[in-house]
Amino acid sequence: MTPSVPTALSRPIEPAPDLPILHRDGMMLVIDKPCGLPVHAGPKGGETLADHLDALRFGLPRAPELAHRLDKDTSGCLVLGRHPKALALLGKLFASGAVGKTYVALTHGAPAQDEGRIDQPLAKRSPQRGWWMQAVPKGTPGAQEAITDYRVLHRAGGFAVLALSPLTGRTHQLRAHLSTLGHPILGDAIYGGASRLPGGPRLHLHSRRVVVPLARNGPPVDVSAPLPPHMCETLAHLDLSPEDVGRAADAFRPDGKT
């Protein structure tokens, strides 16, 4: 997709504490979710995104709600609908695959091909493992179709930087897909990507960009989030520039083509 021309509302706005706002209009917000903040309450309790939503009303009578999800340890662009009509529209756009999504991941090694598609169904590992997923053969009972396009942006010192576009929205899809290929994401304690690099044990997966065709006859809302500090530290160790990585990821269209 060709990036839309930024408008005044696309520029960062005064944020709520620790939640930079990347875009705001009458229908939706896009926030830069930090790594480590869950979007839903878990069995152990603790702070969640829900604790901050009321501060993001900006004059509306109700707090915004999630239009999609990010894992607790995934950072970056997260879309919120500001009222029921907006949530209904955004829900349809995400469900139909109309929203372009680009992620950046640092991995152990990389696929041999510089770009391609991972078409691998996923299913829960077991009822006791909650939402932990595993790759299964097509036709397996309970399996869900899962498709990811990827491009290798850099290879350095046995590690790699990938741009990823999930064409389906399965739980842990990117993490499970890359682990299945033998190239787990750095810092992924569930799928085998432990890291001792400078960025530490945090998950190196970032929602870099969302492209939302909100208006029928206008350009899409096109928003990018800067890479988080822990990923920047690891990139610096690999002699890679976060700005260059961000630009390379933005050149990767959601359909995997230039």
Catalytically active residues, by annotation: 71
pLDDT digits (tens, 9 = 90+) for 9-44: 444 554 455 789 999 999 999 999 999 999 988 767
Which two tokens mark 39? 């979007």
Q: ∠ at Cα 22 (118, 106), nearest 5°?
A: 35
In this predicted structure, the answer to whether residue 2 has a pLDDT above a threshold of 60 is: no
pLDDT in tens, 100-124: 999 999 999 999 999 999 999 998 8
Mean pLDDT of the chain: 88
Q: Are 12 and 222 in contact (CB under 8 A)?
A: no
pLDDT of residue 67: 97
Question: What is the reported pLDDT for 127?
Answer: 65
Q: For residues 26 and 82, is the Cβ–Cβ distance under 8 A?
A: yes
- Reported as a single tens digit per residue, the pLDDT across 137-195 is 898 888 899 999 999 999 998 999 999 999 999 999 999 999 999 999 999 988 987 77
Cα-based angle 199, 203, 209 (whole degrees, multiple of 5): 100
Could you tell me the fold of the domain covering 8-250? Answer: Pseudouridine synthase (3.30.2350)
Asked whether the predicted pLDDT for residue 254 surpasses 90, the reply is: no
pLDDT exceeds 60 at position 5: no
User: The tokens 């397996």 sit on which residue?
Assistant: 140
